[in-house]
Amino acid sequence: MGAKEKILQDIHSLMTEKFTNAEEAFTFFDKDQDGKLNRSEVKDLLKEAGVGGLIRGLVAGEMIKGYDKSGDDTISKEEFKVAIAELERDF
């Protein structure tokens, strides 16, 4: 298993073990309750999933780049739901 697959597996495990659905997870990590996950909040999610500190910032940036369709450098609730749905489909 490559590094990317391991990270995705860790995120999937977190989502299925700690939360009942994507919306619950989003609300938990949206600390400032602005309806978007900023880079810091995505890093918190990755930390909770067990992603190491050395690559956490890089992975957070890649996740935002990959799922931020609105171009505001954050992940909205709808974008997050899409990401989690893709993750569930792949595992």
- The DSSP result for 25-89, as a single string, is HHHHH-TT-SSEE-HHHHHHHHHHTT--HHHHHHHHHHHHHHH--SSSSSEEHHHHHHHHHHHHH
Domains and CATH numbers, the chain: 3-90 (1.10.238.10)
Q: What is the pLDDT of residues 36-71, one digit of tens each?
A: 999 999 999 999 999 998 899 999 999 999 999 999
What's the average model confidence in pLDDT over 16-43?
A: 97
Of 63, 58, 62, the residue nearest 80 (C-alpha)? 63
pTM (predicted TM-score) = 0.93
Residue count (the chain): 91
